[in-house]
Each structure stands twice: as C-alpha cells, then as structure tokens.
Amino acid sequence: MYSNNYTLFFVFIVTVVLGTMLSFTKDNVKDLQDQNLKADVQKTILRSLNFEENLLASNESIEQTFKNYIDAKCVNIQGEIVNCNIEEVDIEKNEEVLPIYIRMNNNEIQGIALPVAGKGLWSTIFGYIALTPDTDSVLGIQFYKHGETPGLGGEVEKKWFTDNFVNHPLKKPNGEVKYVPKKIRDNSGKIVSIKVVKGGVDYSESNSASIHQVDGISGATVTADGVTDFLLEDLLRYEKTLDKIRDYGTI
Amino acid sequence: MELFNSESKKIISDPINVNNPISLQVLGICSALAVTIRLDQAIIMTLAVVFVLCSSNVILSLIRNYIPTRVRIVIMLSVIASLVSVVDELLKAYLYDMSKQLSVFVGLIITNCIIMGRAEAFALKHGPSKAFLDGLGNSMGYGLIIIIVSFFRELFGAGTITLPDGGAGYVLWSIPDSWYAAGYENIGLLVLSPGAFIILGLVIWIQREFAGVEEDA
C-alpha cells in the first residue's frame, strides 16, 4: 500500500509535469493559431461577399485579398463613422461601435458585410451577413464559430443552409423559376430581416412573406430561432447606416 | 530486446485482426460513427489516435510501478487528457480547417474507451516496448476500420474521395458528371448517422467472418 503522502506527492508531480507540457505546447503554437483564427474570420467575410474561392486558398492570399478589396470601418447606431480598433470590437455584446466591411471596386460599393452573433442552443453563433449595395437583398451569409451539435444545429455553417439565403425560387408568369436572393427589407423599405422557418418555407402564392423566409434545420429549432432573433436584432442596429448607403451610396 | 519476435508480432497484429477494438470489442464506436463522413477526416483522426494511444501506453507503462493504485484512474485520465489537448492545439495551429471539421471529436478522444481500456488492461501490466506495440496495434485496428467505413460513406454518400492536405482536403477522385447525367445518384443516407451504422455493421460482419470469430452462444 502507498502512503497518503506518497500519493499526494505523486499526483502533484504528475500535475506539474503535464501542466508544463501543455503550457509549453500552447506557448509555441499560439501565434500560429491566432493567425489561423484571424484568416478564418477574414475568409468568412470574403466568402459572404461572394469572392472567388481561389482567392481564399491560403492565409496569405486571404490577407492580400482582404487588404485590396475590403474597406473596414466602424459606425455607431446613428450611422456615423467612428474610430475603432476593428479587430478588438466585441461583436456579441457591443452596441456602441459597429464594424462594417465594404467590398469596394473602383470606388464603387459592391457589397456590405455585417457581423452577426447571438445565442443558439448551446453556444453563441458568430457569422457575417453580406448585403447587396441597394441594402435590399442578401449577397451571402456565413457562420464561422459556434458550439452547436454537429449534424443538428451545427448545420448552420453548411453550404446547403447558407445557400437558402440566396436561392429564392421566383415563379415567373410563364411558369419558369428564377432564383433570386432573399430580401431583408419589405416593400415599404422597412428592415424585416430573414426568418428561419421550422419545417420548410411555404412557397405557395398565399405566403407573400416567403421572400423573407428560409428553410429551418430539422432537429434544431432552438438554433434556428436564435438565428432568426439575432439576425433581426443585429440588422436593426445597422438600420441608419444601411439607409444611408441605400440613399447616398456611401456612409 | 527483440522487438519483432513472434510474441511482439502477435501484440501488434491481434488488435488489427482477430481482436479488433471496433469490430470485435465494439469499443470507440462514438467517434467511429462521427468522423467517418469523409476519408480525410478519418485519416487525420487515425493519426491523432495512433499518437495518443502509443504515447499514453508508453508513458503509463514507464511509470506503472510508481502509480499509487488508488489514484491510477485519475493519473491515466490526466495523462490521456493532456496528450489529447496537445494534439488538439497542434491541429489548430497546423491543420486549422481539419480541426474545425473534427471539432469536438478530437477532444472526445479522451473518452474513447479504447485508450483507457488499453491503459488499464495492458500498459499498467507490461513494459514500455510491448505497451508501444499494443498501442500501435490497437490504434491501427481502430484506424483501419474507420478508414474503410469512411471510404465507402464518402464514395457512395458524397461521390468523392478526399485525402488530407494542409487546407480543406485534396479531392483525389470524384464521380464524373456524366454518371450523374446517366441517372446515378448519391446515397444521402450514408452521410447521416444511420448510414454509418449500416456500413459499420457490414464491416463488422465481414471482418468477423474473415477473422473466423465465433460468438459465444
């Protein structure tokens, strides 16, 4: 039998050795991890803004593309530009300083990406929604960080789900179906956001709101409701800014 | 030390074949179902498990005579958990896309019954070289099965074969568009968990038949 003192001593030594090993590893790879994380966020922004996949192949090309095409700034809730350190803005809690990423080409706005974040079922979901320059339709949406159940709520980051936001089947009078993006504004120009609908979207004539709705994920109603809630909440924070861009073509 | 005498060979080959941890002992099923959607995920997962199981077996075998019996489970768990955390951190640094896809399942290697099982049943009773071989055999036995399962799931479920590379995976082969045009369709069920059960069941059947295992009546 081992004495209590020996047992305590042994456990202590093991803890110190393993702890040292772990902190040594973390210390060595932290910089690389941070770079990966930063590139991943930038990739999400670029992807939501519909950049070609071949521009997003490596961390270097992502950084380059981001530098060349993206105008990143912060606005406040009144739609005025404010100074900020955009990488350190807390997207989830922050309400004073709102980051906005604008895709520019020859001084012309081609798309606007806004961070969105909110509670799903288990975790906070982080993502970016990109809007067309008229701030009416969705250009793309991407989620990059969440802790939802893989296969259920975790499906929010999958292509089939995010594609729902840009593929609205519009029936033309001659019976052909044309795919258009979903709209965040209703006919009067009010921001109504996009609702994730349990089951599937009712595409019959009687459901005039279907352009503001996307299919939900089976088995993940709470996650879907969370997405609906924080999309609306976050888009409304940018209402003044988006109105400005729509009306004047600039902030 | 004779590393490759017949006993050592048996230690390493038994768990790959006649005593396979997945198909015979039915351990480690959780991750076998979860990470077998794509071949590249299964390959990286196999490498992670090979590393964790070999290292944990060797480390625990080295200190086996000093571990107080009463706290051995805690010690085993801390060693395994630390190794898994190291793997997780390394993946995040060097294979970021892969670590995102494997998500929680790298961390869940800690709870993979194979690893604790081998530590308790083998590493604490044998020397480091044997423990290493046992770890290698068992992790390869695990890897072999999940690689086979993922190969069929990806091929018939998604129509591709993907190998791991630095980024999101290198597509080695995918079913040509002409097949789809001719009416071929992917079996969506295989991408979902029930598909994993079906393939795994078939693999277990074939493997047991192959290894000549008879279930006790």
Mean pLDDT calculated for residue range A20-35: 93
Three-state SS annotation for A232-248:
HHHHHHCHHHHHHHHHH
Please give the pLDDT value at position B128.
Answer: 93
Question: Mean pLDDT, to the nearest integer, of A138-155?
Answer: 84
Cβ-nearest to A36 among B34, B93, B192: B93
pLDDT tens for residues B148-192? 999 999 898 888 888 888 666 788 888 888 888 888 888 878 888
Reported as a pLDDT band with limits 50, 70 and 90, residue B4 is low
Whether B125 and B64 have beta carbons less than 8 Å apart is answered as yes
Q: Which H/E stretch holds residue A83?
A: none
Where do runs of H (alpha helix) occur along A118-164?
A: 159-163
Q: What is the pLDDT of residue B167?
A: 67
Tell me the mean pLDDT in the region A219-244: 90
Q: Which residues of A touch B104 (CB under 8 A)?
A: 150
Q: Residue B97 has which token pair?
A: 């896309």
pLDDT reported for residue A187: 87
**Closest Cα in chain A, distance from residue B163 (Å):** 16
> In chain B, whose CA is at the least distance from the CA of A35?
B93
Q: Are A150 and B31 in contact (CB under 8 A)?
A: no
User: pTM of this prediction?
Assistant: 0.79
**What's the pLDDT at A29?**
93
Of the given ranges (A19-23, A175-179, A210-214, B77-81), which has the lowest mean pLDDT? A175-179
d(CA B82, nearest CA chain A) in Å: 6
Q: What is the three-class DSSP state of A124?
A: strand
The rounded distance, in Å, linking the Cα atoms of A170 and A153 is 28
Q: What's the rounded mean pLDDT across residues A41-57?
A: 85
Is 60 exceeded by the pLDDT of residue B1? no
- Distance, CA of A227 to CA of B168 (rounded, Å): 26
**By mean pLDDT, which of A246-250, B44-48, B120-124, B144-148 is the weakest?**
A246-250
What pLDDT score was predicted for residue B7?
81
Provide the pLDDT confidence category of residue B74 given band limits of 50, 70 and 90: very high
Residue B3's pLDDT band (cuts 50, 70, 90): low
Tell me the pLDDT tens digit for each residue of A177-200. 888 889 888 888 888 989 998 888
User: Do B89 and A40 make contact, defined as CB atoms within 8 angstroms?
Assistant: no
What pLDDT, on the 0 to 100 scale, is given for residue B207? 86
Decide: residue A175, CB within 10 A, 0-12 exposed, 13-18 middle, 19+ buried: exposed
Mean pLDDT to the nearest integer, A140-155: 83
Mean of pLDDT values over A91-109: 82
Residue A21 predicted with pLDDT over 80: yes
Q: What is the pLDDT of residue A94?
A: 67
Question: What residues pair up with A213 in beta bridges, in sequence order?
Answer: A195
Mean pLDDT rounded to a whole number for chain B: 87
Domain count, chain A: 1
* Location of structure tokens 């290894």: B211
Contact: B89, A14; criterion CB under 8 Å: no
Nearest to A7 among B68, B85, B167 (CB): B68
The residue whose two tokens read 């993006």 is A181
Does A231 have pLDDT greater than 70? yes
**Sheet containing A138-145, strands listed edge to edge, beginning at the edge strand earlier in sequence:** A81-82, A70-75, A98-105, A108-119, A124-131, A138-145
CB contact under 8 A, A150 and B34: yes
Give the chain A residue nearest B166 (alpha carbons): A58
- pLDDT for A136 beyond 80: yes
A14 touches B: beta carbon within 8 Å: yes
Pick among A15, A25, A28, A37 to test the B interface (most B CBs inside 10 A): A25
Q: How confident is the model at residue B82 (pLDDT cuts 50, 70, 90)?
A: very high
Higher pLDDT, B140 or B8: B140
Instruction: Tell me the residues of B at the A interface, defined by beta carbons under 8 Å apart.
Output: 34, 66-71, 74-75, 78-79, 82, 85-86, 89-90, 92-94, 96, 100, 103-104, 167, 192-193
- Residue in B67, B89, B103 closest to A29 by CB: B89
- Residue A191 is part of which domain span? 4-248
Average pLDDT of chain A to the nearest whole number: 87
